Amino acid sequence: MPKLSLLILLALVTHVLAAIFSVGYHHPDEHYQILEFANAFLGRTPYEVLPWEYAAQIRPWLQPLLMAGLFRGLEFFGLSSGVDWALFSRVLYAALNLFSLHALSQAMPNPTKACKSVFWFTAATLWFFPYVHSRTSAENLSGILFTFALAKEFAAIRDNSQNAISLKSGFLFGLSFVVRPQMALAGLGIGLARLIQDRIDWKKFSFLALGFCCAAVVGVVADRIGYGSWVLTPLRYFDVNLVQGVAATFNPYPWYQYFVWLLELHPVVNLCILAACILLFRRNKTDPSILAATTFFLLHMLLTNKEYRFLFPLVNLVPLWFAQAFSDCLRTKQHSRSLIFGWIALNFPAFFVSSLRASAFKVWPYVAAHSLDAPGAPDWISNLNFRPDPTSSFRFYDVPGKPLIPYGTGEDLRMSIKSQNGPSYVMVDIPYFDPAREGILEALEANECKEKTSAIPPLLLRPLAKLPFGKKLHLQSVYFCKSLSN
């Protein structure tokens, strides 16, 4: 096993790379309900164009307010572009995840040298960690807070439940809930573990609950600042999404869908994660991390609205499970070497695909970063109406208003490129199986256009399209075309 310092350095490098290259967002909520809410608080996005969650008052304001404060601080140092803000935010979230993992590695039960080595080896090489950790989503921030809280919880168990530690643990659990109310499902498992381990010692449990209530007060004050009136967003969220059934209208899937996704998205790695959970559960049925994951996962299975991003808040538990379940597998040097190389071979190709390209690619960060209105700047040719209309809530990147040249087919694109007196950028966003795709690609090739950035490398689109989720893939790229003589 490599030295612990080298593993931590590797984790730092992969996270920084992902934060720099993984532009955009994984899901629209990451942008419209976090960045645009913060942008509205700063007066750059009109409140009336925010998503419906603002009018329904179901989006907690704590995270957008924290982001708005961060952006004000960056403005003080001369950084006022949404592109710079987004980059700094991704780096910050990645760093916070690494700090939370460090806290968890220090507080985990039986922190032997072998356990710590497996912990950081997993954290440094697990393919989706840098990508997920760089997101500015509520799932990510709630996961960071939950990881810090779990570290405090382990410290409370180790130190025989010191009241001050329990109070801090409850406060961090509460903040995680405030950022994302669904974290109450994981908190249920933590509370259950505390009751079982303490044999219902209500005095000790009360400090955990007190810290949670203090965090809830912070959330209420933040919502009062954001909405301008007193509102309990967790209750509003429960009423709108569950009682009124709004959530059930989005992404309805059967109860077993999460298992389907686990088998679709790198099944070998995911089966290893499931195996670690089962082994750890058999050894210690009251482990807080296992009970938290169990209640969180089972109750999410019962909800109609399912997305695999809903599981992101608990991904930081994976190194902990691997450390406690598999550290005994590394007793012999040769056995250890085989497992290490096999694991790297499984994870690093997926890391390069997922983390070194744009996340769920949206073109505006790239457009805003390339001086759309600068004198002599190339024209932009687009097959979609990317220009935000006056009612659009996409204001964070503050893209200049230079008109885009539209095209619909490959022939339209060919003529548009040839009509330019100088170089031009071409935006392409089209379903992989759209009949117009081949014509567009032929036009780009005929005009010697070079790809500048894309969501998925074109060479990988063909094999990925054959997988079960292939019909959902889009060709999303920006090309640069030099002027060709007619």
Instruction: Over range 287-314, report the average pLDDT.
Output: 93
Q: Express each pLDDT in 164-200 by its tens digit.
A: 888 899 999 999 999 999 999 998 898 888 777 766 6
Nearest-10 Cα torsion for 257, 261, 262, 267: 140
Instruction: Tell me the sheet residues that pair with 407.
Output: none
State how far the Cα of 317 lies from the Cα of 436, in Å rounded to an integer. 44
Q: Express each pLDDT in 36-62 by its tens digit.
A: 999 999 998 899 989 999 999 999 999
State how far the Cα of 227 lies from the Cα of 448, in Å rounded to an integer. 51
Quick one: pLDDT at residue 330?
63
State how far the Cα of 142 lies from the Cα of 312, in Å rounded to an integer. 9
> How long is the chain?
486
State how far the Cα of 295 lies from the Cα of 273, in Å rounded to an integer. 17
Is residue 332 pLDDT above 80, yes or no?
no
Is residue 400 pLDDT above 70, yes or no?
no
State how far the Cα of 401 lies from the Cα of 373, in Å rounded to an integer. 8
Secondary structure letter of residue 377 according to DSSP: P
Res. 486 pLDDT band, cuts 50 70 90: very low
Quick one: pLDDT at residue 387?
47
State how far the Cα of 175 lies from the Cα of 178, in Å rounded to an integer. 5
Strand order of the β-sheet with 405-406 is: 405-406, 379-382, 424-431, 474-481, 450-454
Tokens of 309: 């991003």
Cβ contacts of 256 within 8 Å, gap of 6 or more: 301
C-alpha of 119 from chain center: 21
State how far the Cα of 111 lies from the Cα of 102, in Å rounded to an integer. 12
The reported pTM is 0.84
Coil/strand/helix, residue 137: coil
Closest CA to 142 of 70, 219, 73: 219
CA distance from start to end of the chain: 61
Quick one: pLDDT at residue 282?
86
Closest CA to 406 of 383, 440, 437: 383
Tokens of 175: 């903040």
Cβ contacts of 384 within 8 Å, gap of 6 or more: 427, 429
Answer left, alpha or beta for residue 126, where phi above 0 means left and psi between -120 and 50 means alpha. beta
State how far the Cα of 309 lies from the Cα of 265, in Å rounded to an integer. 12
Q: Express each pLDDT in 127-151 by its tens digit.
A: 999 999 999 999 999 999 999 999 9
Secondary structure letter of residue 50 according to DSSP: S
Q: What's the per-residue H, E or C state across 349-360?
A: HHHHHHHCCCEC
Pairing of strands 405-406, 424-431: unpaired
Which one-letter amino acid corresponds to residue 188? L
Place of tokens 């954290």: 123
Res. 80 pLDDT band, cuts 50 70 90: confident
State how far the Cα of 419 lies from the Cα of 486, in Å rounded to an integer. 9
State how far the Cα of 410 lies from the Cα of 440, in Å rounded to an integer. 4
Res. 326 pLDDT band, cuts 50 70 90: confident
Nearest-10 Cα torsion for 151, 155, 161, 166: -40
Q: Are 288 and 169 in contact (CB under 8 A)?
A: no
Quick one: pLDDT at residue 85?
92
Cβ density class 424-454: b for 16+ within 10 Å, e for less? bbbbbbbebeeebbebbbebbeebebeeebb
Is residue 154 pLDDT above 60, yes or no?
yes
Is residue 386 pLDDT above 50, yes or no?
no
Which one-letter amino acid corresponds to residue 280? L
